Amino acid sequence: MQLKDLLLGLGLVSSAWAQLADTSDYPIGPLTTSDEKWAVKVCDITDYGAVADGETDASTAIVDAFNACSSGGVVNIPLGTFALENWVTLSGGTAWAINLEGIIVRTGTAGGNMIYIEHSTDFEIYSSRGEGAVQGYGYVFHEQGEYGPRILRLYDVTNFAIHDIALVDSPAFHLTLDTCNQGEVYNMIIRGGNEGGLDGIDLWGFDLHVHDVEVTNKDECVTVKSPANHILVEDIYCNWSGGCAMGSLGVDTDISKVVYQNIYTVNSNQMFMFKSNGGNGTVTEVTLQNFIGHENAYSLYIDAYWTDETLAAGDGVLYNSITFNNWTGTCENGATRPPLYVLCPSTQPCTNIIIEDFAMWTESGSTEYYKCADAWGSGYCLHAGSEHTEYGTTTSTLTTAPSGYSAPTMPGQLTAGLGLTASIPIPTVPNTFFPGATPATARVYGS
């Protein structure tokens, strides 16, 4: 019996942990330990022609090393700087890993994905020294008003882990988990430029656990997209970012059993946003708890009329059984943008929304307001009852700070976004991601 199963039986496991599928049937993460993979075979890319000079293209060497170790073993990228002029697609593979001790730097200019891993199982990418990184040099594109490739994309990968590495200055999205299952992402830092379209982590799939990650950019911090179920996101530090979100949601939305907890957000667009415009389908059984924010434009935000998204066919996504609990801290200006803003589709009103223990106050001025429309449930400006029909906008104004709004801060808070005209330095992966919390998994050697 695994630890989680024992605690579940005793009633001692948190509801958030229980949000993941039963690990006895759906184990999360690699099925084979990294030590076992090292013992099978090691395929060092320098043995296949890679040169750590920061100029020689290492793409063929990485593919050749993968082909040699794809049935079991470790593709080793040793200390040094390796250039990637052509992108790498690694398809298939079982019981294998990439150990990124050194640094991969982008030298190519194509679009797409610098590193693309698909149809794989029992996979791990990590840095055994805790210092490995991919440097995308996205500023070269951004100073020209352009976008380039994503850094890392996984598609149809099962039983995997990504940890103890840095993804820096991506020309587009940093990490995408596309239709992936039973995976874990942790002990990471992502540093991107101060611009939209440079998402930190986008994910959709089944039974995914993302925790202990710091993200800097000006778009998605850690965002769930459709379809997705059994997702746990916790201990996240959105440090000058767009903030966490769910969406954009459109036709045939299918999201359920999602928990975000212990989320710290500073100088971001929002603490959490549900975003859609038309569409259909359902978002249900979602819990967002233990959120701390400081100086964010928006805080708690459902926007079913998000005009940055093209209007999709349908009466609107149904937001049902969503609980917000224990939100504290400050917003940038609560009289300009309400820290509590629930705007649901008039043709598909939200149902069973619960907002409790919400204590956010404004950094600027001495008033703030809450705003709700077509949102049914309990708490603050929501409408109580079971009618679930359309109604007009309701607001309430606060002229004194709510009790208990004061919240701690995190070390290393950025006071400005990272530039788009110069290289972003590779940072050290931190050892803390939420006030008072210790990472669930210890850092690897050398951290």
pLDDT band at residue 11, thresholds of 50, 70 and 90? very low
- pLDDT digit string (tens) for 180-236? 999 999 999 999 999 999 999 999 999 999 999 999 999 999 999 999 999 999 999
Q: Is the per-residue pLDDT at 262 higher than 70? A: yes
Q: 266: closest CA among 412, 429, 431?
A: 412
3-class state of residue 444 by DSSP? coil
pLDDT band at residue 446, thresholds of 50, 70 and 90? low
pLDDT band at residue 301, thresholds of 50, 70 and 90? very high
pLDDT band at residue 275, thresholds of 50, 70 and 90? very high
Distance CA 106, CA 169 (A): 10
Residues 408, 435: contact at Cβ < 8 Å?
Answer: yes
Class level of CATH domain 247-414:
mainly beta
Tell me the CA distances in angstroms from 46 to 51, 58, 79, 445, one per residue in order. 6, 9, 11, 23
Residues 78, 51: contact at Cβ < 8 Å?
Answer: no
Average pLDDT estimate for 40-50: 98
Q: 72: closest CA among 36, 28, 23?
A: 36
Residue in the block written with tokens 């004194």? 400
Which of the residues 142, 294, 383, 388 is marked catalytic?
294
219 is catalytic: yes
3-class state of residue 423 by DSSP? coil
Q: 135: closest CA among 96, 82, 179, 90?
A: 82
Name residues whose C-beta falls within 8 Å of residue 6's C-beta, 6 or more positions apart in sequence.
none
Name residues whose C-beta falls within 8 Å of residue 231's C-beta, 6 or more positions apart in sequence.
19, 203, 207, 208, 209, 210, 224, 257, 258, 259
Average pLDDT estimate for 294-308: 97
Residue 150 amino acid letter: R
State pTM to two decimals. Answer: 0.95
Residue 401, H or E segment? none
Which of the residues 212, 219, 235, 303 is marked catalytic?
219
Q: Is the per-residue pLDDT at 8 higher than 90? A: no
Domain segments of the chain as ranges: 1-218+417-447, 247-414
Residues 50, 80: contact at Cβ < 8 Å?
Answer: no
235 is catalytic: no
Distance CA 189, CA 135 (A): 12
Residue 57, H or E segment? none
What's the whole-number average pLDDT of the chain?
94
3-class state of residue 188 by DSSP? strand
User: Domain 1-218+417-447 is of which CATH architecture?
Assistant: 3 Solenoid (2.160)
1-218+417-447 and 247-414: same fold?
Answer: yes
Give residue 19's pLDDT.
Answer: 75
User: How many beta carbons lie within 10 A of that of residue 278, not counting itself?
Assistant: 22
Residue in the block written with tokens 């990968």? 157
Residues 266, 413: contact at Cβ < 8 Å?
Answer: yes
- pLDDT digit string (tens) for 355-405? 999 999 999 999 999 999 999 999 999 999 988 999 999 999 999 999 999
User: How many beta carbons lie within 10 A of that of residue 171, not counting itself?
Assistant: 26
Average pLDDT estimate for 252-277: 98
